[in-house]
Structure 1
Amino acid sequence: MVRNYIRKSTRCSSYNDESLKIAVESVTNGMPLKTAVKKYGVPARTLKRHQMAMTKFPGKIRLGHFHSIFTKDQELELVEIIKSMEKSLFGMTTTDVRKVAFEFAEKMKLSHPFKVDMKMAGIDWMYGFLKRHPTLSIRKPEAINLSRGSNAKNVAFGIIMVAKD
């Protein structure tokens, strides 16, 4: 399972994205390969592969099979959507968040591994998303009391709109 994975290799532990990018630029600008290997700590074969653009993302380290579906900006936008729904007193369960994530990915026209027949993201994605954004608190919503709402008209209007659907 993805959520219980413990990394076993030490690949890419001697260098990072920045040093790889700088090393590729240096070799492209005329620095000898061996000098760049010693100076930046990037393996020669890796440097050559990235310089010749034989990888999908030259200059970036991407290990493993599983990668994030959304970019950081898109995930922050999704968090804002969820928070705004919670502020307008729509209680969000984990199933609701998974459905919103699926709809968001479809709207952004991203390729995703979510289940199309269920129209929701997977539970592993949900656990990872909550781990990356600990400010979110997803739980079973409580009943809404109109007298406690900060703006009773908007709350009542929202309930009427939901009841009509």
Structure 2
Amino acid sequence: MARKRGKILQYDHYDLEQALNAVKAGESIRNAALKFNVPKSTLGDRISGRFDVIKPRHGRPPAIPVEIEEKIVKSVKMAAKLGVGLSRKSILLRTNVLCRRIKLETSYTNFKAGKDWWEGVKRRHPELSIRKPEKLSAVRARMLNPVVVNNYFEDLNQIVNGMQIGPAQVWNCDETGLNFEHSPVRVVAERGAAVVSKTSQKSSNLTIMACVNAAGKAMPPLIITKGKTVRSLHGFNTTDAPSNAVWSFQENGWINDEIGEKWFNTVFLKHCGPQRPQLLIFDGHSSQVNAVNCMSIHRMFLF
């Protein structure tokens, strides 16, 4: 038989607030407690200021300080509104990275954000829920209309004017893929005949991260090859790449959080110039969101 772990909250926070208001209006603590079904001792503790009036706490405090948790929740909400919502797994992973980076000390031995921490966050923030997002193509189809586009450029104009920046301080970045599979040229053949051309069974590809400002200046590209080790770069003539190009590798040849942060630190910050502030416009790819958000909470919690 499972052992009971202390008393369970038997009243609603709304009832507690009603009882508090009744006492403030002149009613006795005893009568207010009976009327709203709230323990007399609990109501007395809140009236005296011994415990928090609005959100009484039970058991051990949260492992992560409230102010940091609030920033995490705020970032999660904002990411969902921007169409780059995070899964529970991503939130836990990035929370743990944040805890390591800020060297968070807690009363929990070997604390690691997991299922129990997440359940606590949901209790403290009941407005959060796991939702299935719509496909991006449907969103783009709805949003691509004159009203939305005009609103976007009006907002962008307000931001640029508000920051008092020029074209050289407004940047746009995006990644593109380059596939090395042979693309057959047009050939002469008999009308109506099936025309095929031999190609390699395997094709390699590169991902290129490019960034250009409104004045037409381009930053050196970040080039990502497909591979697990630095040896994957040996098959490319890196010396003939654009000047100051940065090379990296990833198992699938894609850009991820780590490479996105590397691009931000070694390319963008190095080549954007000394003027501040700078405006960087990017799409909703999670690695780009991560790179930009690393400027915020201890340069990592990128929500």
Question: Which range, TM-score by smaller chain?
Answer: 0.5 to 0.7
Determine the C-alpha separation between the residues in 1 that align with 2:99 and 2:77.
12
Residue-by-residue CA offset, 1:124-155 (whole Å, 9 max, x unaligned): x24345555756xxxxxxxx99448998525x
Tell me the CA shift for residue 11 of structure 1.
Answer: 2.8
1:33 alignment partner in structure 2: 29
Residue matched to 1:79: 76
User: Is 1:113 paired with 2:170?
Assistant: no
Structure showing the higher helix proportion among its residues: 1
What whole-Å deviation, never above 9, does each CA across 1:10-31 have from its counterpart, x for those lacking one?
4322x12111122112112211
Please point out which of 46, 49, 54 is paired with 1:53.
49
Counterpart-to-counterpart distance in 2, 1:127 and 1:112: 19
**Residues in 2 aligned to 1:102 and 1:36: alpha-carbon distance in whole angstroms:** 47
| Aligned length, in residue pairs | 133
Return the structure number with greater relative CO, CA threshold 8 A, min gap 6. Answer: 1
Q: What secondary structure, in the 3-state scheme, does the structure 2 residue paired with 1:153 have?
A: strand
* 1:20/1:60 contact within 8 Å kept: no
> Which amino acid counterpart does residue 44 of structure 1 have in structure 2?
K
- Cα separation, partners in 2 of 1:70 and 1:24, compared to 1, 3 Å: same
1:146-161 matches, within 5 Å, as 146-147=177-178, 152-153=209-210, 156-157=221-222, 160=246
Kept in 1, the 8 Å contact 2:46–2:53? The answer is yes
Partner of 1:64: 59
Q: Give yes or no for contact 1:51–1:58 (8 Å, CA) kept in 2.
A: yes
Q: Give the number of the structure whose alpha-carbon radius of gyration is greater.
A: 2
**Alpha-carbon distance between aligned partners in 1 of 2:95 and 2:45, rounded to the nearest angstrom:** 40
Could you tell me which amino acid in structure 2 is paired with residue 62 of structure 1? R
Residue 96 of structure 1 deviates from its aligned partner by 5.1
Letter in 1 for 2:29: L
Mapped to 2, the partners of 1:112 and 1:29 lie a distance apart of 43
Unpaired runs of 5+ residues, structure 2, are: 123-128, 132-174, 179-204, 212-220, 225-245, 247-260, 268-303
**Structure 1 CA distance for aligned equivalents of residues 94 and 55 of structure 2:** 34
Q: Which residue of the partner structure matches residue 127 of structure 1? A: 115
Task: Report the residue type matching 2:98 in the other structure.
Answer: V
Structure with the bigger percentage of strand: 2
For 1:44, the equivalent position in structure 2 comes to: 40
